[in-house]
Structure 1
Amino acid sequence: MSRYVALGSSMAAGPGIRPRATGSPRRAGRSARNYPHLVADRLGLPLVDVTYSGAATAHVLAERQHGAPPQADALDGSESLVTVTIGGNDVGYVPMLFAAGLPRAARFIPLLGTKIRDLLNPQARLRALDEVGDALIAVGQTLRARAPRATVLFVDYLTLLPDDPPLRDADARLARHLAATLEQLTADAAQATGCGLVRAGAASRDHHAWAPEPWTTRFGVPAPGRPAPLHPNAAGMRAVAELVVAAVTG
């Protein structure tokens, strides 16, 4: 039976959603109830899940991550389905949100403050956005070349913030710009490389972390057995799985 290979960052891996995928590295934060596992169960496909928390496009294409090989190395041409959720770590999207959620005084702590100020620097984030578009296209081209018979789907990021997020105005504007631009660049890369696109962001506009029925989590401190802050929760993973299944079967 042809395989399903899932690639991507923590937004696909599902850190903190129990149980952890059997045999997976703890650093990967890979849940047995992430959307790749749910999709594989629904479609009856053998799953190779190489999603890894903290992954950037370079870890899909060429770089090792904590000893794990580049994610695209998992492809051997036997796949019928490939999904990838990537790009946010290239532009520092979630780290920027974490930084924005800290007390303003944290920006002046030695060493830590330098990192926080860089994450919240619009020029630095815009430079990263300028680079990630080409990187996403390279991801699409690589996956199409290595899995020529597969349906290859970019799955973009779930919506994290409401229209009026609980952030300082400048930080809120930067966060909204990062999210919207990353979503558009993912769509552009899918179109440019002949891949499909699952619009998780658009589907979750009314299910942000502050919504009555959230698909993502709010700011907070990571805790064992709980979905990571500013990441998909179990409901979000189920929703994305439904979107992927619909894209494959529809």
Structure 2
Amino acid sequence: MTRYVALGSSMAAGPGITPRVPGSPRAAGRSARNYPHLVARTLGLDLVDVTYSGATTAHVLSESQRGAPPQIAALDGTETLVTVTIGGNDAGYVPMLFAAGLPRAVRVIPLLGGRIRELLDPSARYVALTEAGGALIEVGHEIRRRSPQATVLFVDYLTLLPETGAAPPLREPQLSLGRHMAATLQQLTADAARATGCGLVRAAEASRAHHAWSSEPWTIRFGFPRPRRPAPLHPNAEGMRAVADLVVAAV
């Protein structure tokens, strides 16, 4: 069999990287040049891409997302390869960075301001990270249960932030919080892979010199979304190609 199922959130879906997968939900932001599509073409696999922007581990395991079934339902046991990039939305990682880049005046807007303040609250992010760790392990176990013969690879997040220095308009202490969240998500993903007998593709490590503020970025720095452009604080086409190469090497 040559069936490949790709699970995950926007970091795997590739919102704004044209072209969009024909017939896919617009809200999914599923690019025909995301790393699952590139891997499938390179290895000659039959791809089932159910990645969906905004997905959490709950959307992988049990919850519908905008009418789409839980992503795990795509597994039927005949898979040769399964990849999964998930966990950041559980922790609020990219939403926190986006909130950090907004003007301070936005924080006093009713309702919206409360959500922004919650995203920027370190204590809330630490609790969310702790919960994400257990959820990632559950994802690994369930994929293994449903696809016992497949190569299963956790693919962690491309590096968004420089290890040191400025990343305007993001400010301290939110920049430090973002670095802590990125490092913790990287470790939690590695822990989940090890605990569940899955492989690990270390995209974060491979992309440290290609953060969004670098001269050769694999991700997009903070900004506001523009049509037919890669989403801010997400992979660009070069980043997707780099991740695809890492996945192919791991397989």
With the shorter chain as reference, the TM-score category is over 0.9
Aligned pairs for 1:14-163 within 5 A: 14-163=14-163
Q: Residue in 1 aligned with 2:241?
A: 238
Give the Cα–Cα distance (whole angstroms) in 2 for the partners of residues 53 and 44 of structure 1.
Answer: 25
1:216 paired with 2:219, answer yes
Counterpart residue number, 2:189: 186
Distance 2:112 2:52 in 1: 25
- Cα distance in 2 between the residues matched to 1:173 and 1:224: 30
Q: What SS is found at the alignment partner of 1:169?
A: coil
Structure 2, unpaired ranges of 5+: none
Aligned-pair distance for 1:173?
A: 1.3
Q: If the length of structure 1 is used for normalisation, what is the TM-score?
A: 0.98
Cα distance in structure 2, aligned partners of 1:193 and 1:76: 19
Instruction: Determine the structure 2 residue equivalent to 1:9.
Output: 9
> Structure 2: how far apart are the matches of 1:160 and 1:102?
17
- For structure 1, list consecutive stretches of 5 or more residues without a partner in the other structure: none
SS of equivalent to 1:77 = coil
Question: Take 1:75 and 1:87, find their aligned partners in 2: how far apart are those partners?
Answer: 19
RMSD of aligned alpha carbons: 0.7
TM-superposed CA distance for 1:107, in Å, is 1.2
| 1:106 to partner: Cα distance | 1.4
Measured after TM superposition, the shift of residue 168 of structure 1 is: 2.1
- Which piece of structure 1 moves more, 172-181 or 187-196? 172-181
d(CA) in 1 for partners of 2:131, 2:172? 25
**Cα shift readout 1:203-224 (whole Å, capped 9, x = no counterpart):** 0000000111100001111111
User: AA paired with 2:249?
Assistant: A
* Residues 181-203 of structure 1: CA deviation (Å, up to 9, x unaligned): 01000000000000000000000
- Count of matched residue positions in the alignment of Structure 1 and Structure 2: 248
1:132 and 1:125 map into 2 onto residues whose CA distance is 10
Task: Give me the whole-angstrom Cα distance separating, in 2, the residues matched to 1:149 and 1:225.
Answer: 38
Shift in Å at residue 175 of structure 1? 0.6
Q: How far off its partner does 1:2 sit? A: 2.5
What SS class does the counterpart of residue 213 from structure 2 fall into? coil
Q: Give distance in 1, aligned partners of 2:111 and 2:142.
A: 37
What's the TM-score, normalizing by structure 2?
0.98
- Give the counterpart letter for 1:225 in structure 2: R
Structure 2 letter corresponding to 1:187:
A
SS in 1 for 2:21: coil
Mean CA deviation greater in 156-165 or 12-21: 156-165
State how far apart, in whole Å, the 2-side matches of 1:111 and 1:46 are: 44
Q: Percent identity?
A: 76
Query: What SS does the corresponding residue of 1:83 show, helix, strand or coil?
Result: strand
CA deviation profile, 1:54-92 (whole Å, cap 9, x unmatched): 000000000000000000100001000000000000000
Code of the residue aligned with 2:150 in structure 1: it is: A
Out of 196, 199, 208, the residue aligned to residue 196 of structure 1 is 199
> Counterparts of 2:27 and 2:175 in 1: how far apart (Å)?
30
The residue matched to 1:84 in structure 2 has which SS? strand
Code of the aligned partner of 2:18: R
Of 201, 222, 228, 1:225 maps to 228
Amino acid aligned to 1:200 = A
